[in-house]
Amino acid sequence: MKYPFKIAIAIVFMTQFLSAQTSRFVYQVTMKSDSTDKTNITTENVILDVSPEKSIFYGEGRVKRDSIMQRMRETRNFDRSAMQNLRSSIDYIVEKDLVKNITYFKTRLGRDQYIYEEDRKIDWKILPETVKIGEYEAQKAETTFAGRKWYAWFTQDIPFQDGPYKFKGLPGLIVKVEDANEDYSFDLQQSKKISEFPSFDNRGGNPIKVKRTDFEKQEKQYRKDPVSFVTNSFSQGMPAPPQSMGGGNRGGGGFRADPDFRKQMEERLRDEVAKNNNPIELSK
């Protein structure tokens, strides 16, 4: 009679041990963000950190960029070239509460950070097709989300009902997901155990919590005229960049940016928006 009790204790211990573990899954994301030039393909690594309770999805360069920014602030030595080398199209974070089944999206527009709760449900249709992806036996599923039709392959060998970006809810980890037009694709590259979730530099203070629809209105304004949007952000209290980053001086008329730096910034903003006309989410 003692053996069942010991087995039960062992199961509880093992469950607690596993729940304390956090898994890191590294994906390669392939993007065709310019609809006028489908030959322009960019790739970068993204990370999904998962525990039984929550997950965080972010660009690999985000942690590196935050580390460099922290070092620059400590040394007061600002090097724009170091930051340029870590520019990323994945400048957002997706956090999932896997217990309450809530997804949060966090990103920056202008000087402000925004966060909203995803209010759209992802309804999957599981298909009979199976294929081996890497070392995993995977099964196919499909869904329509945010204006795109998506195909996903999940494996029950990894018992996290999660995946990259906002995708979740399949009976196993999503190891690959791509849209029907092959504009976006997330492919699992490697996995490992980590001791804890990363912490991110919360520049600009706490994020502004808004409804998804309100955020999309702000994003639409930014895409329409990014220069005016950012200029308004500066005029509403955004700290001026240091002179070593091209900033100007503060005088009776307030902050005056170096004309060459300002022109470069405006051209870069317009160019980025023009070339990113094929976002991952196309509609409501």
Number of independent structural domains in the chain: 1
Supply the pLDDT for residue 230: 72
pLDDT in tens, 200-247: 766 656 889 999 999 999 999 888 888 878 777 655 544 444 333 334
Confidence check: pLDDT of 95 > 70: yes
- What pLDDT, on a 0 to 100 scale, did the predictor assign at position 248? 42
Q: What are phi and psi of 196, to 5 degrees?
A: -160, 165
Residue 76 lies in a domain: yes
pLDDT at 96: 98
Give the residue numbers spanning the domain of 247. 20-275
Residue 184 lies in a domain: yes
pLDDT of residue 272: 75
Residue 8 or residue 99, greater confidence: 99
In order, the DSSP letters of the chain are -HHHHHHHHHHHHHHHHHHT-EEEEEEEEEE---TT-TT--EEEEEEEEE-SSEEEEEEHHHHHHHHHHHHHHHHT---HHHHHTT--S--EEEEEETTTTEEEEEEEETTEEEEEE-------EEEEEEEEETTEEEEEEEEEETTEEEEEEEETTS---B-STT-B-SSSEEEEEEETTSSEEEEEEEEEEESS------TTSSPEE--HHHHHHHHHHHHH-HHHHHHHHHHTTPPPPPGGGT--EEETTEEE--HHHHHHHHHHHHHHHHH--S-S----
Say what the pLDDT of residue 203 is. Answer: 60
Say if 70 falls within a structural domain.
yes
- Pick from 51, 39, 26, 23: which is nearest to 183 by CA? 39
Q: What is the pLDDT of residues 114-135, one digit of tens each?
A: 999 999 999 999 999 999 999 9
Residues whose CB falls within 8 Å of the CB of residue 261, separated by 6 or more in sequence, listed in order = 241, 245, 246, 247, 248
* Average pLDDT estimate for 105-117: 91
The predicted model gives 262-282 an average pLDDT of 80
Is residue 247 assigned to a domain?
A: yes
Listed in sequence order, the residues at least 6 apart from 175 whose beta carbon sits closer than 8 Å to its beta carbon are: 133, 134, 136, 138, 153, 154, 155, 158, 187, 188
Binning pLDDT at 50, 70 and 90, where does residue 9 land?
very low
Q: CA-CA distance, 95 to 117, in Å (whole number)?
A: 10
Q: Is 105 part of a structural domain of the chain?
A: yes
Q: What is the pLDDT of residue 206?
A: 82
Residue 15 has what pLDDT? 44
Amino acid type, 74: E
User: Does 188 reside within a domain?
Assistant: yes
Residue 9 within a domain: no
* Residue 2: inside a domain: no
Q: What's at 176, amino acid-wise?
A: K
168, 96 Cβ separation under 8 angstroms: yes
Q: What is the pLDDT of residues 45-77, one digit of tens each?
A: 999 999 999 999 999 987 766 667 666 666 777
Query: How deeply is 145 buried, as exposed, middle or buried, from its count of CB atoms within 10 A (0-12, 13-18, 19+)?
Result: buried
Nearest to residue 86, comparing CAs of 72, 103, 76? 72
- pLDDT tens readout for residues 144-197: 999 999 999 999 999 999 999 999 999 999 999 999 999 999 999 999 999 999
pLDDT for res 252: 41
Closest by CA position to 279, among listed 90, 74, 50, 58: 90
Return the pLDDT at 167: 98
Residues in the chain, total: 284
| Torsion angle, alpha carbons of 240, 244, 250, 254, to 10 | -40
The rounded Cα 276 to chain-centroid distance in angstroms is 16
